[in-house]
Structure formats: structure tokens, C-alpha cells
């Protein structure tokens, strides 16, 4: 693993540890695992530049620290990034990485291969690096605490940061060949059996039990659906896919609703107010209606079920509120608005005159979430660093403030 601070590179020779390796990969049009890191953005408007650029193959990792070198990149790095033949393998290129490259170095590289797009083309649901790695049996740590660590720090990267950054590019490189070796997913309209050669009309296109009731017939040129007027279909799986489609199912429901007897309504639906038409009133046979909401007609039970789950139906059928519950809700609204959140605020945040005060900046807030937003901002982070206070971050997924260096929740004294 080569770790290079570009600020220390001689800008005349532009040589550094790992530059020969990078030039050889570029010259021979060999792929490279590639990734970027930057200091965590604390808000949408934050524009923290790229602080680290990683390259890797199966045996070498090159970590270039760019936090002190501005938009300058050595010629060997520029050649690699602008080489169409030397593919740069990444994950999620069209997201933040693309934006960060533009604002940091004022250009966009070429020859980018996005593993997320390749996985999608292969029919693989996993799109993230860790998920893809696990799918192919690779054990990748991918520590979220390391992901949001300070990549722009002015002291050397820790051993954990170095390993995290190197692994990102390394596993990206390994997965490239694994994914490319898989067959592309067939589009929905071309099932696997048809693509495999079951296209000739013969045994593959024979009627299956129960198909005649679904309107399926066999003609000289293949299978036809008389309900939808679709055909010919020359493989069983093609017809099965058609029969599972929304249009065919709707045709079948209409066909079944044209009989002499009305459709049956499940007991649980009837209890919710769903009735079926008998052909003597406004509702036709096969149609449904909700008598509680005066909603309908619905052409299928599936549509009626969707109505039962709607806000409109829930509002009409909601029970009268319990007076004790109303009183409890009122008491909840009238209690101290900061009570449930004070435990998660640092000690330097004071409560005075029914307002929260950050005594470091200073800043005021009428609500805890507003104070969280302040504590999560760049201005407060700089103040923390200048006063040697631990930096804090608001983690949306866990709905709490955490200490940036440890990942542990902020806990106020005496809580």
C-alpha cells in the first residue's frame, strides 16, 4: 500500500511512490479499482473537496491524499483518469463522486465503469460495494465509523483509515471481473426458456392443464390468448408470463363476473363495508362498492382491498377517540418541549428562558431539532476544533447526536 501526500510531491518531476505502477496500468489499458473520500458534509450546502483518491489492482493499492494540494494532480494521475482504455472501476459514479470530482478538480474523468450499473444489467439486486462483496464470498469490513472519519486531517491517516480506503478500491477491482463473467439478465418480454431455444412450435408450445379456461388455445403457429387477442407465443414460459400480466388478469375477472351469480365477498371485507353487485342496481355483477365511504365501483377485490387501506376509508371507519387518550395527548403536547432530547445535547448547550443556547458559538434555538442542526453544521465543527471539544454529528438513521471520533451517542451529564 502506497500512501502519498500530493503536497509533498515535487511539482517539477511529479514522481512519487507508486507512480511507475500507475503509469504501467495506464499504458497497458489495464483496469483499476478507484474510489474517493472527503471530509463528511454536514449539510446539503457543504462543499468539502475530495481529500483522498484511491487506485488498486489485485496486489497494489495507491492512496493519494489531496487535502492540501488543491486542484493539482500529477501528470501520471491525469493520464490514468483521462484514459478511455484504462477503466476506472467504481460504485455509484453518478452520485456524489461525480459532483465532488467536478468541484474539486474542475473536470470529469473518462472510462468509468460503475459496478452498480453492471450488477443491475446482470439482474443482481445488490448495488452497494459491501453487498456485492458478500454475494461473491468476500468478507469486507466497511466500517461506517471509518467512512465518516476526517479524511482531511493534517496528521497521517490511521491504520484503520488506510485499510478502509485500500479495501474500497481493492474489492471494487476484484468484483469487476466477477460481475462481467455473469450472463446479462434477459428483459421481461424474453423469458429464459425462449432464449434457450424453446421457440419452435412443438412440445414447448403445448396447452397446459387449465389453460383453456383462461382462454388459451393452440393454433398452427403457436399459442394464442383469445381473451386478449395475443399471439402467437411459441414457448410455455412466454404464455405463462402473459397470463400473469395485469391485462390478462383483468380480462379473467371480467369474464368471471359475467356469470349468473354475483362474486363472493370475503367475510373480513364485508365487515369493512364492501358489497358486491348483483346486476339489479347501480353495481354490475363482478363490481364492488364500499358502503361506509360511498366509494366505488371497484372492478376487482384487489382494488377494493386497496381502498380499505386508504386514508379515506380509515378516516370514515375510525372509532370515536377515547376521552382519556385525548387528555393524554394534550398533556404530551403541553409538556416541556426539550425534555425528551436534553439527554442527547452536550453540556455546553444551556436551557435559559425556554430557549436552548450553544455557549461555544453562540447560537439559540426554540426547538431541540433546530439545535441539532446547528451542532451538525460546519461553523460549530470549526469552533469545536478550535476549542478542543469533540466534534459531533447528527445521525439521521438513529435520530441522535453522536461523537464523531467514537460513534457513541452524546450523553449529557447526569442523564
Successive 10-residue mean pLDDT values, the chain, 415 residues: 94 93 96 94 78 96 95 93 94 87 91 91 84 86 80 92 94 92 60 43 63 85 82 79 80 63 75 78 75 81 81 76 68 61 92 90 86 89 91 86 89 88
* 92 touches 127 (CB < 8 A): yes
* Rounded distance between C-alpha atoms, residue 272 and residue 275, angstroms: 9
Q: For residue 114, what is its C-alpha cell?
A: 460503475
Match 491525469 to its residue by C-alpha cell.
78
Domains and CATH numbers, the chain: 2-180 (3.30.420.10), 192-197+208-254 (no CATH), 259-317 (no CATH), 342-403 (no CATH)
Considering only CA atoms, which of 264, 272, 246 is closest in space to residue 301?
264
- Please name every residue paired with 392 in a beta bridge, in sequence order, or none if there are none: 403
Give the N- to C-terminal CA distance of the chain in Å, as an integer.
45
Is residue 408 classed as helix, strand or coil in its secondary structure? coil
What is the tally of helices (H) and strands (E) in the chain? 16, 17
Look at phi and psi of residue 249 and say left if phi exceeds 0, alpha if psi is from -120 to 50, else beta. alpha
pTM over 0.85, yes/no: no
Apex 64 CA angle, 102 and 146, nearest 5? 90
Task: Classify 197 in phi/psi space as left (phi over 0), alpha (psi -120 to 50) or beta.
Answer: left
304, three cell numbers? 377494493
Q: Are 276 and 256 spatial neighbours (Cβ–Cβ below 8 Å)?
A: no
With b for 16 or more beta-carbon neighbours within 10 A and e for fewer, the 149-171 pattern comes to bbbbeeeebeeebbbbbbbbbbb
C-alpha cell at 155: 496528521
Point out which residues pair with 352 in neighbouring strands: 355
For strands 61-65 and 2-5, give the pairing.
Answer: parallel
Task: Give the whole-angstrom CA distance, residue 253 versus residue 215.
Answer: 12
- Residue 395: predicted pLDDT: 86
How far apart CA 238 and CA 317 sit, in angstroms, is 44
Could you check whether the bond before residue 379 is cis, i.e. omega within 30 degrees of 0?
no
188 neighbors 241 (Cβ within 8 angstroms): yes
Select from 127, 60, 62 the least CA-distant residue to 91: 127
Between CA 172 and CA 57 the distance in angstroms is 9
The answer to whether the CB of 175 falls within 8 A of the CB of 132 is yes
Which residue do the cell numbers 511507475 mark?
20
CA 252 – CA 215 distance, rounded (Å): 9
Q: Over the range 320-333, which residues count as b (16 or more CB within 10 Å of their CB) and which as e?
A: eeeeeeeeeeeeee
Amino acid at each position: 500500500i502506497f500512501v502519498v501526500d500530493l503536497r509533498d510531491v515535487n511539482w517539477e518531476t511529479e514522481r512519487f511512490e507508486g507512480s511507475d505502477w500507475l503509469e504501467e496500468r495506464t499504458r497497458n489499458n489495464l483496469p483499476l479499482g478507484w474510489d474517493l473520500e472527503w471530509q463528511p458534509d454536514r449539510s446539503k450546502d457543504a462543499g468539502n473537496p475530495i481529500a483522498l483518491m484511491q487506485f488498486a489492482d489485485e496486489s497494489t493499492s495507491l492512496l493519494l491524499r489531496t487535502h492540501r494540494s488543491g486542484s493539482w494532480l500529477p501528470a501520471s494521475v491525469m493520464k490514468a483518469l483521462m484514459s478511455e482504455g484504462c477503466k476506472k472501476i467504481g460504485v455509484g459514479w453518478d452520485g456524489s463522486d461525480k459532483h465532488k470530482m467536478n468541484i474539486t478538480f474542475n473536470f470529469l474523468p473518462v472510462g468509468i465503469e460503475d459496478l452498480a450499473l453492471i450488477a443491475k444489467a446482470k439482474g443482481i439486486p445488490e448495488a452497494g460495494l459491501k453487498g456485492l462483496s458478500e454475494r461473491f464470498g468476500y468478507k469486507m469490513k466497511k466500517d461506517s465509523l471509518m467512512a465518516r472519519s476526517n479524511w482531511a486531517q493534517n496528521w497521517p491517516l490511521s491504520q484503520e483509515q488506510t485499510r478502509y480506503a485500500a479495501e474500497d478500491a481493492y474489492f471494487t477491482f476484484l468484483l469487476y471481473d466477477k460481475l462481467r463473467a455473469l450472463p446479462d439478465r434477459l428483459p421481461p418480454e424474453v423469458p429464459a426458456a425462449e432464449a434457450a431455444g424453446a421457440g419452435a412450435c412443438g412440445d414447448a408450445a403445448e396447452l397446459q392443464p387449465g389453460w383453456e379456461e383462461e382462454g388459451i388455445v393452440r393454433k398452427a403457429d403457436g399459442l394464442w390468448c383469445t381473451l386478449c387477442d395475443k399471439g402467437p407465443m411459441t414457448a410455455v414460459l412466454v404464455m405463462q408470463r402473459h397470463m400473469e400480466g395485469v391485462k390478462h388478469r383483468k380480462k379473467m375477472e371480467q369474464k368471471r363476473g359475467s356469470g349468473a351469480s354475483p362474486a363472493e365477498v370475503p367475510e373480513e371485507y364485508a365487515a369493512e363495508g364492501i358489497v358486491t353487485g348483483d346486476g339489479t342496481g347501480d353495481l354490475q355483477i363482478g363490481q364492488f362498492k364500499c358502503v361506509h365511504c360511498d366509494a366505488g365501483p371497484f372492478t376487482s377485490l384487489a382494488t377494493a382491498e386497496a381502498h380499505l387501506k386508504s386514508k379515506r376509508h380509515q378516516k370514515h371507519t375510525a372509532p370515536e377517540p377515547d376521552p382519556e387518550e385525548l387528555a393524554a395527548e394534550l398533556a404530551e403536547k403541553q409538556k416541556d418541549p426539550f425534555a425528551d432530547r436534553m439527554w442527547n445535547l452536550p453540556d455546553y448547550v444551556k436551557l435559559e428562558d425556554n430557549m436552548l443556547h450553544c455557549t461555544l458559538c453562540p447560537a439559540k434555538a426554540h426547538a431541540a431539532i433546530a439545535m441539532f442542526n446547528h451542532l451538525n453544521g460546519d461553523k460549530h465543527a470549526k469552533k469545536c476544533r478550535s476549542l478542543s471539544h469533540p466534534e459531533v454529528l447528527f445521525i439521521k438513521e438513529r435520530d441522535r447526536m453522536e461523537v464523531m471520533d467514537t460513534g457513541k451517542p452524546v450523553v449529557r451529564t447526569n442523564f
